[in-house]
A and B are shown apart, each in its own frame.
Chain A
Protein backbone atom coordinates (compact mmCIF):
# COMPACT_ATOMS: atom_id res chain seq x y z
CA UNK A 1 0.00 0.00 0.00
CA UNK A 2 1.57 3.28 -1.15
CA UNK A 3 1.21 6.29 1.11
CA UNK A 4 1.11 9.71 -0.54
CA UNK A 5 2.34 12.55 1.66
CA UNK A 6 2.21 16.25 0.79
CA UNK A 7 4.74 18.65 2.31
CA UNK A 8 3.11 22.06 2.27
CA UNK A 9 3.10 25.44 4.03
CA UNK A 10 1.42 28.24 2.10
CA UNK A 11 4.31 30.60 2.71
CA UNK A 12 7.48 30.28 0.69
CA UNK A 13 10.98 29.85 2.05
CA UNK A 14 10.03 28.07 5.26
CA UNK A 15 11.74 24.76 4.42
CA UNK A 16 9.35 22.63 2.36
CA UNK A 17 11.99 21.38 -0.05
CA UNK A 18 14.59 20.86 2.71
CA UNK A 19 11.95 18.89 4.61
CA UNK A 20 10.77 16.88 1.60
CA UNK A 21 14.37 15.90 0.83
CA UNK A 22 15.17 15.01 4.45
CA UNK A 23 11.99 13.01 5.13
CA UNK A 24 12.17 11.12 1.83
CA UNK A 25 15.83 10.28 2.41
CA UNK A 26 15.12 9.23 6.01
CA UNK A 27 12.34 6.89 4.88
CA UNK A 28 14.53 5.35 2.18
CA UNK A 29 17.41 4.88 4.66
CA UNK A 30 15.05 2.68 6.65
CA UNK A 31 14.39 0.57 3.59
CA UNK A 32 11.09 2.05 2.44
CA UNK A 33 10.95 2.50 -1.31
CA UNK A 34 10.35 6.23 -1.66
CA UNK A 35 9.91 8.77 -4.45
CA UNK A 36 10.04 12.51 -3.83
CA UNK A 37 8.26 14.64 -6.47
CA UNK A 38 8.92 18.34 -7.08
CA UNK A 39 5.58 20.03 -7.86
CA UNK A 40 7.06 23.51 -8.24
CA UNK A 41 6.70 23.70 -12.02
CA UNK A 42 8.79 26.54 -13.40
CA UNK A 43 10.92 26.91 -10.27
CA UNK A 44 12.40 23.49 -9.70
CA UNK A 45 14.85 23.24 -6.82
CA UNK A 46 14.46 19.83 -5.28
CA UNK A 47 17.07 18.55 -7.76
CA UNK A 48 19.63 20.99 -6.30
CA UNK A 49 18.83 20.11 -2.71
CA UNK A 50 19.09 16.40 -3.56
CA UNK A 51 22.31 17.01 -5.51
CA UNK A 52 21.08 15.46 -8.76
CA UNK A 53 20.63 18.63 -10.87
CA UNK A 54 23.05 17.44 -13.56
CA UNK A 55 21.28 14.13 -13.98
CA UNK A 56 17.87 15.58 -14.90
CA UNK A 57 16.82 14.47 -18.37
CA UNK A 58 13.04 14.15 -18.21
CA UNK A 59 10.66 15.69 -15.69
CA UNK A 60 7.14 15.45 -14.27
CA UNK A 61 5.52 17.34 -17.15
CA UNK A 62 7.37 15.18 -19.73
CA UNK A 63 5.84 12.11 -18.11
CA UNK A 64 2.37 13.66 -18.01
CA UNK A 65 2.62 14.68 -21.67
CA UNK A 66 3.90 11.25 -22.68
CA UNK A 67 7.31 12.53 -23.88
CA UNK A 68 8.95 9.94 -21.65
CA UNK A 69 7.85 7.09 -19.46
CA UNK A 70 7.98 7.23 -15.69
CA UNK A 71 11.01 4.97 -15.32
CA UNK A 72 13.06 7.17 -17.68
CA UNK A 73 12.24 10.28 -15.66
CA UNK A 74 12.89 8.85 -12.18
CA UNK A 75 16.39 9.66 -10.92
CA UNK A 76 17.80 6.99 -8.63
CA UNK A 77 19.71 8.45 -5.70
CA UNK A 78 23.39 7.50 -5.62
CA UNK A 79 23.77 7.52 -1.83
CA UNK A 80 20.63 5.79 -0.60
CA UNK A 81 19.01 2.71 -2.12
CA UNK A 82 15.25 2.80 -2.63
CA UNK A 83 15.23 6.59 -3.10
CA UNK A 84 14.01 8.19 -6.32
CA UNK A 85 13.57 11.81 -7.39
CA UNK A 86 11.04 13.07 -9.93
CA UNK A 87 12.02 16.64 -10.84
CA UNK A 88 9.67 19.46 -11.83
CA UNK A 89 9.95 20.94 -15.29
CA UNK A 90 11.36 24.38 -15.91
CA UNK A 91 8.62 25.18 -18.42
CA UNK A 92 6.54 28.19 -17.52
CA UNK A 93 3.38 26.50 -18.69
CA UNK A 94 1.78 25.55 -15.39
CA UNK A 95 -1.36 24.28 -17.09
CA UNK A 96 0.64 21.20 -18.04
CA UNK A 97 0.14 19.98 -14.48
CA UNK A 98 -3.32 18.43 -14.68
CA UNK A 99 -5.04 16.36 -12.01
CA UNK A 100 -5.54 13.52 -14.52
CA UNK A 101 -1.86 13.63 -15.44
CA UNK A 102 -0.70 13.62 -11.83
CA UNK A 103 -3.06 10.77 -11.01
CA UNK A 104 -1.51 8.77 -13.85
CA UNK A 105 2.01 9.43 -12.51
CA UNK A 106 1.00 8.45 -8.98
CA UNK A 107 -0.66 5.31 -10.30
CA UNK A 108 2.60 4.47 -12.06
CA UNK A 109 4.54 4.92 -8.81
CA UNK A 110 2.08 2.67 -6.99
CA UNK A 111 2.63 0.01 -9.66
CA UNK A 112 6.41 0.36 -9.20
CA UNK A 113 5.84 -0.68 -5.58
CA UNK A 114 6.65 2.58 -3.80
CA UNK A 115 5.99 2.58 -0.06
CA UNK A 116 5.95 6.38 0.13
CA UNK A 117 5.51 9.21 -2.34
CA UNK A 118 6.51 12.60 -0.93
CA UNK A 119 4.97 15.55 -2.81
CA UNK A 120 6.99 18.75 -2.40
CA UNK A 121 4.37 21.47 -2.83
CA UNK A 122 5.08 24.91 -4.30
CA UNK A 123 4.33 27.94 -2.11
CA UNK A 124 1.00 29.70 -2.38
CA UNK A 125 -2.55 28.39 -2.66
CA UNK A 126 -2.73 28.32 -6.45
CA UNK A 127 -3.18 25.37 -8.76
CA UNK A 128 0.30 23.90 -8.21
CA UNK A 129 -0.17 23.71 -4.45
CA UNK A 130 -3.71 22.34 -4.81
CA UNK A 131 -2.52 19.69 -7.27
CA UNK A 132 0.32 18.61 -4.97
CA UNK A 133 -2.14 18.17 -2.10
CA UNK A 134 -5.11 16.70 -3.98
CA UNK A 135 -4.21 12.99 -3.85
CA UNK A 136 -2.48 13.05 -0.47
CA UNK A 137 -3.26 10.56 2.29
CA UNK A 138 -1.41 12.64 4.83
CA UNK A 139 0.13 16.12 5.14
CA UNK A 140 3.19 17.62 6.76
CA UNK A 141 2.70 21.34 7.34
CA UNK A 142 6.03 23.15 7.55
CA UNK A 143 5.87 26.32 9.65
CA UNK A 144 8.34 28.90 10.94
CA UNK A 145 7.68 30.40 14.40
CA UNK A 146 6.70 33.72 12.85
CA UNK A 147 3.30 35.40 12.31
CA UNK A 148 2.96 35.24 8.52
CA UNK A 149 4.03 31.62 8.32
CA UNK A 150 1.62 30.54 11.10
CA UNK A 151 -1.28 32.39 9.50
CA UNK A 152 -0.54 30.85 6.08
CA UNK A 153 -0.28 27.40 7.64
CA UNK A 154 -3.73 27.86 9.12
CA UNK A 155 -5.09 28.75 5.68
CA UNK A 156 -3.44 25.69 4.19
CA UNK A 157 -5.04 23.53 6.89
CA UNK A 158 -8.41 24.93 5.84
CA UNK A 159 -7.68 24.08 2.22
CA UNK A 160 -6.51 20.57 3.13
CA UNK A 161 -9.79 19.94 4.93
CA UNK A 162 -11.90 20.77 1.87
CA UNK A 163 -9.86 20.50 -1.34
CA UNK A 164 -8.29 17.03 -1.26
CA UNK A 165 -9.77 14.05 -3.05
CA UNK A 166 -10.56 12.40 0.28
CA UNK A 167 -12.38 15.53 1.49
CA UNK A 168 -14.34 15.77 -1.78
CA UNK A 169 -15.37 12.14 -1.48
CA UNK A 170 -16.58 12.79 2.06
CA UNK A 171 -13.89 10.57 3.57
CA UNK A 172 -12.97 13.32 6.03
CA UNK A 173 -9.85 15.36 6.71
CA UNK A 174 -6.49 13.85 5.91
CA UNK A 175 -4.19 13.77 8.95
CA UNK A 176 -1.98 16.86 9.01
CA UNK A 177 1.02 17.20 11.30
CA UNK A 178 3.13 20.22 12.16
CA UNK A 179 6.84 20.47 11.51
CA UNK A 180 8.22 23.63 13.08
CA UNK A 181 11.48 24.69 11.41
CA UNK A 182 14.14 27.36 12.02
CA UNK A 183 13.39 27.19 15.75
CA UNK A 184 15.68 29.16 18.04
CA UNK A 185 15.26 28.19 21.72
CA UNK A 186 17.43 31.14 22.76
CA UNK A 187 15.12 33.62 21.10
CA UNK A 188 12.05 31.85 22.51
CA UNK A 189 13.49 32.16 26.02
CA UNK A 190 14.07 35.86 25.47
CA UNK A 191 10.44 36.26 24.41
CA UNK A 192 11.41 37.22 20.86
CA UNK A 193 10.02 34.16 19.09
CA UNK A 194 6.76 32.22 19.26
CA UNK A 195 7.33 29.03 21.25
CA UNK A 196 6.38 25.59 19.99
CA UNK A 197 3.48 25.65 22.49
CA UNK A 198 2.28 29.01 21.13
CA UNK A 199 2.22 27.69 17.56
CA UNK A 200 0.50 24.48 18.64
CA UNK A 201 -2.12 26.47 20.57
CA UNK A 202 -3.00 28.38 17.42
CA UNK A 203 -2.84 25.64 14.78
CA UNK A 204 -4.14 22.85 17.04
CA UNK A 205 -2.56 19.96 15.15
CA UNK A 206 -0.25 17.17 16.22
CA UNK A 207 3.46 18.02 16.38
CA UNK A 208 5.67 15.91 14.12
CA UNK A 209 8.91 17.65 15.01
CA UNK A 210 10.88 20.79 15.74
CA UNK A 211 13.94 21.49 13.61
CA UNK A 212 16.34 23.96 15.22
CA UNK A 213 17.79 26.88 13.26
CA UNK A 214 21.05 25.33 12.18
CA UNK A 215 24.11 26.01 10.06
CA UNK A 216 23.88 22.43 8.92
CA UNK A 217 20.86 23.19 6.70
CA UNK A 218 22.70 25.72 4.54
CA UNK A 219 25.79 23.50 4.48
CA UNK A 220 23.64 20.63 3.28
CA UNK A 221 22.00 22.62 0.49
CA UNK A 222 25.40 24.04 -0.52
CA UNK A 223 26.70 20.53 -1.08
CA UNK A 224 23.49 18.98 -2.41
CA UNK A 225 23.12 16.39 0.33
CA UNK A 226 19.86 16.17 2.34
CA UNK A 227 20.57 17.40 5.87
CA UNK A 228 19.39 14.13 7.41
CA UNK A 229 22.59 12.55 6.03
CA UNK A 230 24.52 14.86 8.41
CA UNK A 231 23.91 12.54 11.32
CA UNK A 232 26.12 14.55 13.65
CA UNK A 233 24.23 17.80 13.18
CA UNK A 234 21.33 18.99 15.35
CA UNK A 235 19.03 19.53 12.34
CA UNK A 236 19.93 16.12 10.92
CA UNK A 237 19.09 14.42 14.20
CA UNK A 238 15.88 16.42 14.56
CA UNK A 239 14.78 15.26 11.10
CA UNK A 240 15.72 11.69 11.96
CA UNK A 241 13.50 11.96 15.08
CA UNK A 242 10.69 13.35 12.91
CA UNK A 243 10.97 10.39 10.53
CA UNK A 244 10.74 8.06 13.52
CA UNK A 245 7.61 9.81 14.77
CA UNK A 246 6.19 9.80 11.24
CA UNK A 247 6.48 6.01 11.32
CA UNK A 248 4.72 5.86 14.66
CA UNK A 249 7.71 5.67 17.01
CA UNK A 250 7.45 7.42 20.35
CA UNK A 251 10.38 9.84 20.48
CA UNK A 252 10.94 12.70 22.92
CA UNK A 253 11.33 16.15 21.34
CA UNK A 254 14.89 17.45 21.49
CA UNK A 255 16.58 20.81 20.82
CA UNK A 256 13.76 22.73 22.52
CA UNK A 257 15.85 24.46 25.18
CA UNK A 258 18.84 26.76 24.93
CA UNK A 259 22.20 25.67 26.25
CA UNK A 260 22.38 27.12 29.73
CA UNK A 261 25.05 29.72 30.32
CA UNK A 262 26.94 29.95 33.59
CA UNK A 263 25.54 32.24 36.29
CA UNK A 264 28.33 34.71 35.54
CA UNK A 265 27.51 34.66 31.86
CA UNK A 266 23.84 35.15 32.51
CA UNK A 267 24.40 38.08 34.88
CA UNK A 268 26.92 39.99 32.86
CA UNK A 269 27.07 38.48 29.44
CA UNK A 270 23.69 39.61 28.19
CA UNK A 271 22.95 37.86 24.95
Chain B
Protein backbone atom coordinates (compact mmCIF):
# COMPACT_ATOMS: atom_id res chain seq x y z
CA UNK B 1 0.00 0.00 0.00
CA UNK B 2 1.49 3.37 0.99
CA UNK B 3 2.50 5.41 -2.03
CA UNK B 4 1.16 2.87 -4.48
CA UNK B 5 -2.41 3.25 -3.36
CA UNK B 6 -2.35 6.77 -4.78
CA UNK B 7 -1.47 5.44 -8.21
CA UNK B 8 -4.39 3.06 -8.41
CA UNK B 9 -7.39 4.43 -10.27
CA UNK B 10 -10.22 5.10 -7.84
CA UNK B 11 -12.80 3.85 -10.32
CA UNK B 12 -11.90 0.26 -9.55
CA UNK B 13 -12.62 0.58 -5.86
CA UNK B 14 -15.13 -1.87 -4.47
CA UNK B 15 -17.26 1.03 -3.20
CA UNK B 16 -17.84 2.35 -6.72
CA UNK B 17 -18.75 -1.15 -7.91
CA UNK B 18 -21.20 -1.36 -5.00
CA UNK B 19 -22.75 1.97 -5.89
CA UNK B 20 -23.23 1.03 -9.55
CA UNK B 21 -24.81 -2.31 -8.68
CA UNK B 22 -27.12 -0.66 -6.16
CA UNK B 23 -28.24 2.03 -8.58
CA UNK B 24 -29.26 -0.60 -11.12
CA UNK B 25 -31.08 -2.96 -8.75
CA UNK B 26 -32.81 -0.19 -6.82
CA UNK B 27 -34.07 1.42 -10.04
CA UNK B 28 -35.44 -1.93 -11.20
CA UNK B 29 -37.16 -2.66 -7.90
CA UNK B 30 -38.66 0.81 -7.75
CA UNK B 31 -40.24 0.36 -11.17
CA UNK B 32 -42.42 -2.48 -9.90
CA UNK B 33 -43.06 -0.98 -6.46
CA UNK B 34 -46.60 -0.37 -5.35
CA UNK B 35 -48.01 -2.31 -8.29
CA UNK B 36 -50.64 -5.03 -7.88
CA UNK B 37 -49.43 -8.46 -6.70
CA UNK B 38 -50.38 -10.13 -9.98
CA UNK B 39 -47.81 -8.16 -12.00
CA UNK B 40 -44.98 -10.73 -11.94
CA UNK B 41 -47.34 -13.54 -13.03
CA UNK B 42 -48.88 -11.34 -15.72
CA UNK B 43 -45.38 -10.65 -16.98
CA UNK B 44 -44.55 -14.40 -17.07
CA UNK B 45 -47.70 -15.29 -18.96
CA UNK B 46 -47.33 -12.46 -21.46
CA UNK B 47 -43.78 -13.58 -22.07
CA UNK B 48 -45.00 -17.13 -22.74
CA UNK B 49 -47.57 -15.87 -25.26
CA UNK B 50 -45.10 -13.62 -27.06
CA UNK B 51 -42.61 -16.48 -27.22
CA UNK B 52 -45.12 -18.66 -29.07
CA UNK B 53 -44.66 -16.32 -32.03
CA UNK B 54 -41.36 -14.49 -31.58
CA UNK B 55 -38.21 -15.68 -29.83
CA UNK B 56 -37.52 -12.97 -27.27
CA UNK B 57 -35.30 -12.59 -24.23
CA UNK B 58 -36.44 -13.06 -20.65
CA UNK B 59 -36.43 -9.28 -20.05
CA UNK B 60 -38.15 -8.34 -23.33
CA UNK B 61 -41.52 -7.82 -21.66
CA UNK B 62 -41.85 -4.89 -19.27
CA UNK B 63 -45.02 -4.46 -17.26
CA UNK B 64 -45.57 -1.34 -15.21
CA UNK B 65 -48.43 0.37 -13.45
CA UNK B 66 -48.48 4.17 -13.30
CA UNK B 67 -50.91 6.28 -11.35
CA UNK B 68 -52.00 9.57 -12.81
CA UNK B 69 -54.62 11.82 -11.27
CA UNK B 70 -56.89 9.07 -10.01
CA UNK B 71 -56.56 6.60 -12.86
CA UNK B 72 -54.16 3.70 -13.23
CA UNK B 73 -52.34 2.98 -16.46
CA UNK B 74 -51.05 -0.50 -17.22
CA UNK B 75 -48.06 -0.07 -19.47
CA UNK B 76 -46.76 -2.98 -21.55
CA UNK B 77 -43.48 -2.70 -23.35
CA UNK B 78 -42.39 -5.60 -25.54
CA UNK B 79 -39.04 -5.37 -27.26
CA UNK B 80 -38.83 -7.53 -30.37
CA UNK B 81 -35.48 -8.83 -31.66
CA UNK B 82 -33.97 -7.14 -34.72
CA UNK B 83 -34.56 -10.03 -37.12
CA UNK B 84 -38.14 -10.39 -36.22
CA UNK B 85 -39.33 -11.61 -39.71
CA UNK B 86 -37.01 -14.61 -39.61
CA UNK B 87 -38.41 -15.53 -36.25
CA UNK B 88 -41.95 -15.43 -37.57
CA UNK B 89 -41.15 -17.65 -40.56
CA UNK B 90 -39.37 -20.24 -38.47
**Given the complex of chains A and B, what is the CA–CA distance between A186 and B30 in angstroms?**
32
Chain A residue numbers with a CB within 8 Å of B29 are 151, 154-155, 158
Which of B14, B21, B22, B26 has most A Cβ within 10 Å? B22
Do B15 and A188 have beta carbons less than 8 Å apart?
yes
What's the interface size class on A, roughly? 20 to 34
Chain A residue numbers with a CB within 8 Å of B25 are 151
Do B1 and A270 have beta carbons less than 8 Å apart?
yes
Chain A residue numbers with a CB within 8 Å of B51 are none
Chain B residue numbers with a CB within 8 Å of A93 are none
Do B2 and A270 have beta carbons less than 8 Å apart?
yes
Do B23 and A202 have beta carbons less than 8 Å apart?
yes
**Given the complex of chains A and B, what is the CA–CA distance between A49 and B78 in angstroms?**
53
Write the A15-43 contact mask toward B (1 if CB under 8 angstroms, else 0).
Answer: 00000000000000000000000000000
Contact of A192 among B13, B22, B30, B33 (CB under 8 A): B13
**Given the complex of chains A and B, what is the CA–CA distance between A202 and B10 in angstroms?**
20
Write the B24-37 contact mask toward A (1 if CB under 8 angstroms, else 0).
Answer: 01100110011000
User: In angstroms, how far is the closest chain A Cβ from the Cβ of B5?
Assistant: 7
Q: A202-B19, A268-B2, A271-B1 are in contact. Are A158 and B14 (CB under 8 A)?
A: no
Q: A151-B25, A202-B22, A270-B2 are in contact. Are A158 and B16 (CB under 8 A)?
A: no
**Given the complex of chains A and B, what is the CA–CA distance between A162 and B36 in angstroms?**
12
Q: Which residue of B lies closest to A266 (CB)?
A: B2
- Cβ of A248 under 8 Å from chain B: no
Write the B41-76 contact mask toward A (1 if CB under 8 angstroms, else 0).
Answer: 000000000000000000000000000000000000
Do B2 and A151 have beta carbons less than 8 Å apart?
no
**Given the complex of chains A and B, what is the CA–CA distance between A158 and B29 in angstroms?**
10
- Cβ of A131 under 8 Å from chain B: no
Q: A151-B25, A202-B26 are in contact. Are A194 and B2 (CB under 8 A)?
A: no
Chain A residue numbers with a CB within 8 Å of B26 are 150-151, 154, 202
**Given the complex of chains A and B, what is the CA–CA distance between A202 and B25 in angstroms?**
10
Do A150 and B22 have beta carbons less than 8 Å apart?
yes
**Given the complex of chains A and B, what is the CA–CA distance between A193 and B25 in angstroms?**
18
Do B13 and A147 have beta carbons less than 8 Å apart?
no
Chain B residue numbers with a CB within 8 Å of A191 are 10, 13-16
**Given the complex of chains A and B, what is the CA–CA distance between A73 and B11 in angstroms?**
54
Write the A230-271 contact mask toward B (1 if CB under 8 angstroms, else 0).
Answer: 000000000000000000000000000000000000111111
